[in-house]
Structure 1
């Protein structure tokens, strides 16, 4: 397979690049040149947001393209139109954020989505991803593969969610652990996303797929206990009711990454229907493996995870945590 990856040097794109190389595919990466791609790929440079920025894609043919873009949909539109006729399949890494909020538990791919346009410039994340989907569909029709990922974790994470928990727990001592401890979590390891996506491309799948683990794949307790195990920490998890956390002004998802209290946001994020993806081959590795490999990667780069400049840093202020724990 000759694969073109639009993006491919960071997190999800990097996982897809590594998986394609492991399969022996001929991989070309189109990127801005800010980060070095993995060894073994052909590299094309360009800035999708600049006039003439797609010039390097003006010639060449590929069996498939994977597009990881998450900003202005017009960039997806321009790339998809330029590549139509020279690429066999187009896979767009979208998001479950395209569904209208709140989404009830059990949400499947036929649920209502937000408005979007392939011609949009800078819009909010949900509208951007929906516009990107429409751009891919506009150029490749129903054969376009729309990978609606949920929470993504794993090595190379540049958002900071699992890295923050690992770093905090590695410090030891009392750790604010948000309850309920048995609350199920839905996420996908970037490497499992890569495996499924490339398999779907090989088989010619098209249309939307919710791509996260099955509901209850792990729990908040299992995630944090795995962090303690791999770091060898003496951390003491102090399980705290959601009501007390919210009353203290601590923000779910941002102050305490991954965690959401029971309610609409939790149902939307952690109770999706993934029957379609599972029946088409999705398999998700145990949380302990994702945590262990992320810790190993963090240690290999000195313990400080990279941070995407377009995303806010996450994590709870130490003083705020200590104040709540003092009670």
Structure 2
């Protein structure tokens, strides 16, 4: 089969390319040339945000298209109008209206969005607008991949890389509790494998593509980081109330972690039975952590950072103050 990936040089797009090549697909990537394309693909240069930015694709023929765009929905709409074939849009569980109920499935209420929205919209509305843009063109044939938290090699958001580099430094490490708190995430490679297979099989409609709730715990994640880095880190499990009272922000200052409550329930308790029934398989957390650390070391320990996302992590002086208290 022939696959077109719009992007394909970073994180999710790169993982999709690797997955498709591994099963023998012929892959073309359209990108702006800011990053090197993966080996083994055909490359078309183009900028989707400018007039005629897709002209390099004229006359092309692909069995499936994968689009990971997170910006202005109108860009997704214009791309979908220019292309044929099966169209998979990598969306997000952020499209669900907050707070999502515990165990929310694909029929949960979603945020408002517009297919013709420009760039000045927040992330949930941008992703919902992208979904509507694809559906405007492809109708019920559109595949909407609603990913949750994504971890693994090539991460350019910084969440798991921050924990790995922090724990690699060793010493006492602030570990946010409860330690048995369940996480719900998907390894980027499992997300890519599922998306490629779903495009091949002609699946359509929305899917929550994230691992089962409680696939790993916060303890399992951080202890895996300690093992693979080989550091002398000593995890100091700290009550969530103490962390919050110190003004520390969950998710951003302490990546991946959410204290018990409404945000945790909305983020980490989704119903993923539809994606699992359609073939989603999730590798152990130890494998995700080890492979991410191996990738980080290949880069000299410094992970790439998306320019449109703020850096994450807790300042050393804030951590020291909390540990001292």
State the Cα distance separating 1:58 from its structure 2 match: 2.4
- 1:274-289 pair list within 5 angstroms: 274-289=272-287
Give TM-score, length-normalised by structure 2: 0.99
- 1:37-186 pair list within 5 angstroms: 37-83=37-83, 87-122=84-119, 123-186=121-184
Partner of 1:3: 3
Q: Indicate whether 1:313 and 2:316 are aligned.
A: no
SS in 2 for 1:28: strand
Partner of 1:198: 196
CA distance in 2: counterparts of 1:271 and 1:232, whole angstroms:
32
SS in 1 for 2:154: coil
CA distance in 2: counterparts of 1:2 and 1:279, whole angstroms:
25
CA distance in 1: counterparts of 2:53 and 2:308, whole angstroms:
20
1:217 equivalent among 209, 212, 215: 215
Partner of 1:34: 34
State the Cα distance separating 1:258 from its structure 2 match: 0.2
Partner of 2:268: 270
Across the two proteins, how many residue pairs are aligned to each other?
324
CA distance in 2: counterparts of 1:189 and 1:96, whole angstroms:
15
CA distance in 1: counterparts of 2:189 and 2:216, whole angstroms:
17
Unaligned runs of 5+ in 1: none
State the Cα distance separating 1:88 from its structure 2 match: 2.0
Give TM-score, length-normalised by structure 1: 0.98
CA distance in 2: counterparts of 1:267 and 1:20, whole angstroms:
34
State the Cα distance separating 1:105 from its structure 2 match: 1.0
Instruction: Note the alpha carbon deviations across 1:219-243, whole angstroms, 9 max, x for none.
Output: 0000000000000011000000100
Unaligned runs of 5+ in 2: none
CA distance in 1: counterparts of 2:2 and 2:164, whole angstroms:
37
CA RMSD of aligned residues (A): 0.6
State the Cα distance separating 1:59 from its structure 2 match: 2.2
Q: Structure 1 stretches (4+) deviating beyond 4 angstroms?
A: none
CA distance in 1: counterparts of 2:98 and 2:27, whole angstroms:
37
